Amino acid sequence: MSAHIQSAADENEHIMVCLSASASNPEVIRQAARISSSFHGKFTAFYVEMSGMDDMPVQERNNLQANIRMAEQCGANIIVSYGNDVAEQIAEYVKVAKVTQIIMGKTYKGRRWLFKRDSISDKLLKIAPNLKVMLIPDPLEEEHKVHWVRRRRNQDFYRNSLRLSIDILTIFLFLLLSTGICVLFEENEFQTDNLLMIYMMGGLLQALFARCRISSILYALGSVIVFNYFFTEPRLTLHVNDTSYITTFFEMFATSMTVSTLVQQMKRVAKQAAEKAYRTEILLETSQKLQQAEDVSQIALQSIQQLEKLLNCTVYCIPGKPSSDMKLQDYFASNKEANGLSRDEIAVASWAYKNNKHAGATTGTLPGARCLYLTVRNGDKIFAIIGIELNGKVPTAFEKSVMLALLNESALAFEKEELRRRERETALRLQQEQLRGNLLRAISHDLRTPLTSISGNADMLMKSYQMMADAERTRIFHDIYEDAVWLINLVENLLSVTRIENGTMDIVLQPEMVEDVLDASMKHLNRHVKNHKLKVSQADDMLMAKMDAKLIIQVLTNLVDNAFKHTPEGSEIEINVYEKRHKVVFEVADNGDGVPDDQKEKIFTMFYSGDHTTSDGRRCMGMGLTLCKSIIEAHGGRIWVEDNHPHGAVFRFEIEAEEVNF
């Protein structure tokens, strides 16, 4: 009991590790994976993408991608969030996902101007004081800190130098433009307040183009200096006679700084909102398209088309397990002009499938491959392998998060399709079981009468043969023969239906003379035409059709025999054959009671016999018409029943006509 409670508690554990580009982050991931494995709980790797990540140094970006891949290989579910406050984003996700424990690396305290800045872990504990946070210390903490700070400063210096140069040029242009406008306004005797607004407006526009935060400070300082130099007394000097201007300059500087900072924040928020909107849009579009997919091939095509739209790369999809002898038609490509997958590439895909891990380009496993291979999976169940031809491109964290979300959508679609397939197979098995049960019931019921008749007549002959008159013995022999023929026809129909539905019957279509088929059918029917009138007519003696003659003879025999059974003695049966619209039409008409409208479609269903009994009292098993329908459909034709006016029924079927060449 205690073990069961402990197991349930472990399943409720949710371990989260924080990802970063730090060189010590792999050790943090490994420690988190060990803890998650010991608890048997849910394992999540969380990463916050901040504004300016596109300008991350190449080395840090590579470290980040490697850390994300390591977390995936350790079984973590990768979650990417967007914001400028890492601690706040972590705290918000912890509340929503019900994380029980956070594992993160040692974060260093820095300084902002003269003030000490809290580390991420300190901020996190302030926001959520009850949160359980485990810090993994770095064995080379001080050395790592010194090298990290020095490297970061060097990288920032070289990266920001070009940006700052461009921003300084932008500042100069906007100051020049603002000064020119103020000169025109001063000539038209505008007040000083209006001139100040011109410089503030220039600061607002400059902030829209700025790429460095310090550029807003430089513009605010430059605008104060330029305004003082050109538009305050004494002119063309930096002296100020009116002390009230000092307050004006301070307000101007503070306003420019505030407006510029707000514009920068709005730019970052707008970018993040655009990325979230794009992510939501592409995921919604993918979900809608996958819901409309009807089979595995459509799911695969929709998945790779959406990935190609996201990454602008050729994408391949291999449903199921890759094999070394795969050909082009065995997998799908988003680009019709794609080069295809070589045996070496398929071998990498096979490794990814076998190990349930990513492999290929940009990974640590077989990185020399042309494509990056990802598994479309739900837990340990793998549905397909996706190959992305990156051509040297490394997906960003945003692209990676959307890509993984698309793969999750594809996995759900593949899983639903597999469930539908299993349901169809189950329904088919149930249908087969029902068919088998109906067959057994029909055989046990319908075969009892002829078998009882045969055994009874045979017993009568054995016991009273010498005492019977010749006419009576002949009648009994004839009854036994008729019952045996009925049983033989029944078994032949049953076997024919089974072979056609299983696809084991070989149908050979070739040109045949319709007249020859009718003559062969009459030989089978003449011995039954003793109590009915049979009339055969053919519109054209040279009529030919593409058919399997033996099967069409069986269809005609079944239709005429059906008319014999369901019409009283003395009824007239007509067989008419003619050509209509390049089709040869066969008609079997009778003047019996006909077929009710509600039964016209049902009578071609196996074991359906309606409320009718045969003219000799036997109940028909309903396989003859089912066999006729199967044979005609195998010929590419159709069969149906209509009313025969003034009364009766007419069965028609049509097959392809054949040209007669002399």
Residue pLDDT, tens place only, 23-34: 788 888 888 888
Among the residue ranges 12-16, 190-194, 230-234, 417-421, the one predicted with the least confidence is 190-194
- pLDDT for the residue numbered 617: 43
Q: How confident is the model at residue 386 (pLDDT cuts 50, 70, 90)?
A: very high
Residue 578 clears pLDDT 90, i.e. is over it: yes
Among the residue ranges 43-47, 119-123, 654-658, the one predicted with the least confidence is 119-123
Q: How confident is the model at residue 435 (pLDDT cuts 50, 70, 90)?
A: low
- The residue-averaged pLDDT of 127-149 equals 64
- pLDDT for the residue numbered 152: 53
Which of 77-106 are b and which e, b meaning 16 or more Cβ less than 10 Å from the residue's Cβ? ebbbbbbeebbebbbebbeeeebbbbbbbb
Q: Which amino acid makes up residue 336?
A: K
* Whole-number percent of the chain with pLDDT over 70: 79
Backbone angles phi, psi at 475, to 5 degrees: -65, -40
Q: Which amino acid makes up residue 270?
A: A
Whether pTM > 0.75 for this model: the answer is no
The DSSP element (H or E) to which 431 belongs, if any, is helix 397-446
Cis before residue 646, ω within 30 degrees of 0? yes
Mean residue pLDDT across the chain: 78
Q: Which residues, in sequence order, are bridge partners of residue 643?
A: 649
Give the residue with greater pLDDT, 72 vs 99: 99
- pLDDT for the residue numbered 485: 77
- 559, burial (CB in 10 Å: exposed 0-12, middle 13-18, buried 19+): buried
Q: Which amino acid makes up residue 491?
A: V
- The residue-averaged pLDDT of 217-222 equals 76
- The residue-averaged pLDDT of 32-37 equals 87
Which has the closest alpha carbon to 16: 150, 134, 121?
134
Residue 490 clears pLDDT 80, i.e. is over it: no
- The residue-averaged pLDDT of 98-110 equals 75
- pLDDT for the residue numbered 315: 92
Q: How confident is the model at residue 329 (pLDDT cuts 50, 70, 90)?
A: confident
- pLDDT for the residue numbered 545: 92
Distance CA 603, CA 611 (A): 11
Among the residue ranges 15-19, 266-270, 424-428, the one predicted with the least confidence is 266-270
- pLDDT for the residue numbered 113: 44
Among the residue ranges 119-123, 142-146, 625-629, the one predicted with the least confidence is 142-146
Which of 540-550 are b and which e, b meaning 16 or more Cβ less than 10 Å from the residue's Cβ? eeebbbbbbbe
- 172 Cβ contact partners less than 8 Å away, ≥ 6 residues apart: none
**β-strands 359-360, 332-333 pairing:** unpaired
Residue 493 clears pLDDT 60, i.e. is over it: yes
Q: What residue has token string 């619209």?
A: 581
- pLDDT for the residue numbered 20: 84
- pLDDT for the residue numbered 659: 78
- pLDDT for the residue numbered 9: 46
- 170 Cβ contact partners less than 8 Å away, ≥ 6 residues apart: 206, 209, 210, 215
Could you give the 3-state DSSP secondary structure of residue 154?
A: helix
- pLDDT for the residue numbered 7: 47
Residue 360 clears pLDDT 80, i.e. is over it: yes
- pLDDT for the residue numbered 316: 93
Task: Decide if 173 contacts 206 (C-beta within 8 A).
Answer: no
Give the residue with greater pLDDT, 49 vs 296: 296
Q: Is 582 left (phi over 0), alpha (psi -120 to 50) or beta?
A: left
Q: How confident is the model at residue 57 (pLDDT cuts 50, 70, 90)?
A: low
